[in-house]
Structure 1
Amino acid sequence: MSSPCKPDILDLAGVGFSYVKTEPFISGLSFSVGEGEFIGMLGANGSGKSTILKLGSGVLNPSEGRVTLWGRQLRDYRNKDRAKLISYLPQTLDISVPFTVRELVNMGFYPYDIPPAMSVDEALEMVGLLDKAGSYLTDLSGGERRRTFIAMTLLQGAGILLLDEPLANLDIKYQIELVKLLKGLSSSRNISIVMALHDINIALQFDKIMLIKNGSILGMGTPGEVLTDGLIRQAFDVTVRINRSDDGRAYISYEESF
């Protein structure tokens, strides 16, 4: 459950899913996302992060259990109504149509008859791409394309964002800036954000961590509660050390030599 002062927006209860009928990939998965929570979903490749985000967004339907959004089963929403409440950004962002940056970001308005308060320019400025508004996506770097899709997601104005590896292909500068941006939006606009990621040090910046292995939750709580030597070793099969700088900030170092 989420914090008592933050009502649940998204709730997965006893959720199961199989890619192959005889081999359940996820079974009995349960967790809640509270209003305004900033959650990092951490796990190795193939651990189930993408599948869980797809189940939470309605891209995949569970074989068992319930997924509810604001107390109503996710599957009962019309697509447009659901898109106003929850926004999902997939890990793979292939697009072959020759859209400009502005044209793609403008698609974030699609669920609305009356556009929300944020403008395309504001969304592009947030991700540092206002000067690329007229550029074609095919002319952008992988990181710039990803930031374009993030701007579209922000423009959608949903109260909960499910982001699958949004930091992939971004330079470290933009990784840091994007995490700061999203954390600020979560706090200032009470937006709930669940983000899949790999970097343990970046995960330390989240309010809450969900540690995933084999489609199950190893731990969920504050970074201090979840990112322990033992749980990290269990999730990633690697030995780490939790360190603290002189000003008290935690960071991870790896025990294995390169």
Structure 2
Amino acid sequence: MFSAYSGPILELDRVSYRYPGAERIIDDLTFAIGGGEFIGLLGANGSGKSTILKLAAGMVRPDTGTVRLWDKPLAAYRNKDRAKLLCYFPQHLDVSVPFTVREIVGMGMYPYDIPPAMTVDEAMDTVGLLDKADVHVTNLSGGERRRVFIAMTLIQGAGILLLDEPLANLDIRYQIEFLRLLRRLQEQKGISVIMALHDINVALQFEKVMVIKNGAVLGIGAPEAVLTGPMIRDAFEVSIELQKAEHGMYIMHEKWF
């Protein structure tokens, strides 16, 4: 169980980054993630959420600072070894390939020279797609496609999932189903989930929220402590107020015009 590890499993230590020819988008960023955490990375478009996930996944390297995975510099890992520990989901998944669910899930065996502990059928069954094993992924709904890639992650055995806006373009039913699947994996397997999002109502479902603006952390902690009116106004640059309802959710009030 990944959650049994007491120290940080992923750390960004004074990390800065700029894309070539652009202004610095991440500046002196520091935070750490523990085993089994369920964290929402909340911020407006262009706030740096996607870049933070790419830095954490090793998709881009920081200009300064260090990214550590299990207390070891991320740059020191071979690609196959890193793939056994974390998995990155880009914002736009390529589902144009004519592969079946079984074939794509089986690609999760890439890091291993011997068969991994979980079989392809077990992974598909865990995410509720065993009955669609021979269906081409192009014929699946958006929510089902995302579950295919989660199953592939289970084969890899990765203990950290970095997801960039996985709920985009999903209706509310599939958003709920996807979040419930991630929560179940977190509870049963101790997997850590870090998800970029911009929906405040979704952020309320997370154990911890990190609010990002201009590549810096404005606040981090439990949603009820972090998602205050002033914090949201600062992060999204809108004039709103939050009111706590009886069921614990927040209602946003804003004059639109």
Normalised by the size of structure 2, how large is the TM-score? 0.91
Distance 1:180 1:243 in 2: 26
Query: 2:92: which partner in 1?
Result: 92
Query: 2:64: which partner in 1?
Result: 64
How many residues align? The count is: 253
Distance 1:216 1:49 in 2: 10
Distance 1:28 1:211 in 2: 16
CA displacement at 1:172 relative to structure 2: 1.1
Runs (4+) off by over 6 Å = none
1:37 and 2:37 aligned: yes
Query: 1:146: which partner in 2?
Result: 146
1:14 and 2:5 aligned: no
Matched ranges for 1:159-238 at <5 A: 159-238=159-238
Distance 2:183 2:141 in 1: 24
Q: Secondary structure in 2 aligned to 1:102?
A: helix
CA displacement at 1:183 relative to structure 2: 1.9
Distance 2:129 2:239 in 1: 39
| Conserved 8 A contact 1:242-1:250 | no
Query: 1:254: which partner in 2?
Result: 253
Structure 2 gaps of 5+ residues are none
| Conserved 8 A contact 2:242-2:253 | no
- Structure 1 residues 133 and 44, CA, compared in 2 at 3 Å: closer, same or farther? same
CA displacement at 1:221 relative to structure 2: 1.0
- Structure 1 residues 25 and 205, CA, compared in 2 at 3 Å: closer, same or farther? same
Q: Secondary structure in 2 aligned to 1:114?
A: coil
Distance 1:185 1:62 in 2: 30
- Structure 1 residues 224 and 27, CA, compared in 2 at 3 Å: closer, same or farther? same
- Structure 1 residues 121 and 171, CA, compared in 2 at 3 Å: closer, same or farther? farther
Cα deviations across residues 78-117 of structure 1 (Å, max 9, x unaligned)? Answer: 1111111111111111244311111001111211233333
Matched ranges for 1:46-57 at <5 A: 46-57=46-57
- Structure 1 residues 74 and 56, CA, compared in 2 at 3 Å: closer, same or farther? same
CA displacement at 1:257 relative to structure 2: 4.4
Query: 1:137: which partner in 2?
Result: 137
Normalised by the size of structure 1, how large is the TM-score? 0.90
Q: Secondary structure in 2 aligned to 1:25?
A: strand
CA displacement at 1:184 relative to structure 2: 2.5
CA displacement at 1:13 relative to structure 2: 0.6
CA displacement at 1:125 relative to structure 2: 3.4
Distance 2:205 2:30 in 1: 24
| Conserved 8 A contact 2:143-2:178 | no
| Conserved 8 A contact 1:89-1:150 | no
CA displacement at 1:143 relative to structure 2: 3.4
Cα deviations across residues 151-202 of structure 1 (Å, max 9, x unaligned)? Answer: 2223321111111111122221121122122123223322111111121111
| Conserved 8 A contact 2:143-2:175 | no
